Amino acid sequence: MFRTAVHSIARPWVVFWLASTALSRALIPRPPGTDAVHTSGINPARLLLIGGGASIGFGVLSHDLALGGHVARQLTAITGRAIDLDLVTDREMTVTSALPTLSKQPIGRYDAVVISLGLIEALTFRPASEWVAGLDELIERALDRGRDDLRVFVVGVPPLPALMTYPLPIRVLAGRHARTINELSRVLCAGRDGVTFLPFEVSHSGETDRFRSSATYARWAEELSRPIAPLLCTHGADGEPARGDAVDEAERQSSLEALNILDTAPEERFDRITTTARDLLGTASAAITFIDRDRHWFKSRAGVHRDQTPRLATLCDVTIRGREQFVVEDAADDPRFADNPMVVAEPFLRFYAGYPVEAPDGVRVGTLSVFDPQPRSFSDADAALLRGLALMVQNELRPPG
């Protein structure tokens, strides 16, 4: 009876509010970010942020300046790890519509999934039982498709006044429903290993309507970064490829061919990155390489005379099987590569450092590598620089807009 009364009182206000803001929502595009945020450093952790509400970032020009960007940078500051944060956001996303969206994501690639939903359910007074069932299915889908050590974080619905100036009936009644959703989410998460509920008790920033500054997102990010950071475990061993998801060759080849980049002419935008990598890291050679079925094709090369080599003999083929840099400081002294054709014959490779390059869909399709006929050491600073340049290559592979 109480629920019926709430609906009868609040529904006219909800309809009025939705109608009065429909035009403004149509005229306010989603921020034109790249839907990915990267921070500098080494030993990257990869996170997926899926949802709506504060995740959208109204009032700033990109996700880098919005909540996602600030969360990534604060996590790096706390953990010392680089962060690769992929964002799938929609201002109308619900726990129901999020399920097919999540199912399309490569969950096996992530260290953590952050779910930020519930605002639409609060505003439309969706029954609590439907929220619990939907969130339960969403969490199970993530855990089933993720690695054994995947962490799932469920972000609570923030106080409604922090997001927007809602009419009083909506603020009171929908706010009460939001608190119910949060309590149900907290209980649901408490009963699952690897799942954490994150209260999001942010305050109103003083900024008008839904638009807010990057400084506000930075303050809000603290609410999420502090509890997430301790649960991002480290991985990777010195001298070994970093842990990564298994390579699906059919998927990898399909992603590579979709780029339409194989056998294209040299381009200054790629050559500039290659030359910079060679010069800053002080090696004789550098290359941007794409790994085709049976060959190792150079899109850009500096200090390299051939435009391709057989795939079997390349260290880049090892690089794409990990998630971060692969380094061989002296190949002649490494039993894995001492008899490699590229080591015992031209170009007499001794030092190699490569970083995987991903297609826009997150599949590793190539590398940025530097190499030299003389052995040498490779520092953490070198690794961070190589990663940053590899991310520049990735950015060039993304469609404009």
Helix (H, G, I), strand (E, B) or coil at 354: strand
Helix (H, G, I), strand (E, B) or coil at 376: coil
Looking at the predicted structure, is the pLDDT value of residue 19 above 50?
A: no
Looking at the predicted structure, is the pLDDT value of residue 168 above 60?
A: yes
Q: What are phi and psi of 138, to 5 degrees?
A: -65, -45
Beta bridge partners of 358: 364
- Read off the tokens for 223: 């609410």
- Read off the tokens for 178: 């939001």
The predicted pLDDT at position 210 comes to 66
The predicted pLDDT at position 346 comes to 82
Helices (H) and strands (E) in the chain, counts: 13, 12
CA-CA distance, 400 to 232, in Å (whole number)?
32
Give the residue, 256 or 206, on which the prediction is more confident. Answer: 256
Question: What mean pLDDT value characterizes the chain?
Answer: 86
Please give the DSSP secondary-structure letter assigned to residue 191. Answer: T
What is the residue type of 233?
Answer: C
Of the spans 237-251, 314-328, 369-383, which averages the highest pLDDT?
A: 369-383
Contact yes or no for 179/132 (Cβ under 8 A) = no
The predicted pLDDT at position 23 comes to 33
Alpha helix locations (H) across 150-267? 160-163, 168-190, 214-228, 249-258
pLDDT (tens digit per residue) in 270-318: 999 999 999 999 999 999 999 999 999 999 999 998 889 888 767 999 9
CA-CA distance, 99 to 191, in Å (whole number)?
21
Cα Rg, the chain, nearest whole Å:
24
pLDDT (tens digit per residue) in 115-132: 999 999 998 999 999 999
**β-pairing, 45-51 with 83-89?**
parallel
Rounded mean pLDDT, 209-215: 79
pLDDT (tens digit per residue) in 142-152: 999 999 999 99
Give the residue, 87 or 33, on which the prediction is more confident. Answer: 87
- Read off the tokens for 200: 């999001």
What is the residue type of 205?
Answer: S
User: Other CB atoms closer than 10 Å to residue 180's CB: what's the count?
Assistant: 16
Nearest CA to 76 out of 124, 42, 51 is that of: 42
The predicted pLDDT at position 206 comes to 65
User: Other CB atoms closer than 10 Å to residue 338's CB: what's the count?
Assistant: 12
Looking at the predicted structure, is the pLDDT value of residue 235 above 60?
A: no
Dmax (CA) of the chain = 83
- Read off the tokens for 103: 């199912």
Contact yes or no for 290/299 (Cβ under 8 A) = yes
Rounded mean pLDDT, 359-380: 94
Q: Give the pLDDT band of residue 225 (cuts 50, 70, 90).
A: very high
- Read off the tokens for 244: 């990564």
Rounded mean pLDDT, 372-387: 96
Residue tagged 């359910």 (tokens): 121
Looking at the predicted structure, is the pLDDT value of residue 20 above 70?
A: no
CA-CA distance, 171 to 313, in Å (whole number)?
64
Nearest CA to 159 out of 177, 133, 134 is that of: 177
Contact yes or no for 369/354 (Cβ under 8 A) = yes
Domains with residue ranges and CATH for the chain: 2-231 (3.40.50.1110), 249-397 (3.30.450.40)
Point out the least confidently predicted range of 3-17, 211-225, 228-242.
3-17
Contact yes or no for 60/12 (Cβ under 8 A) = no
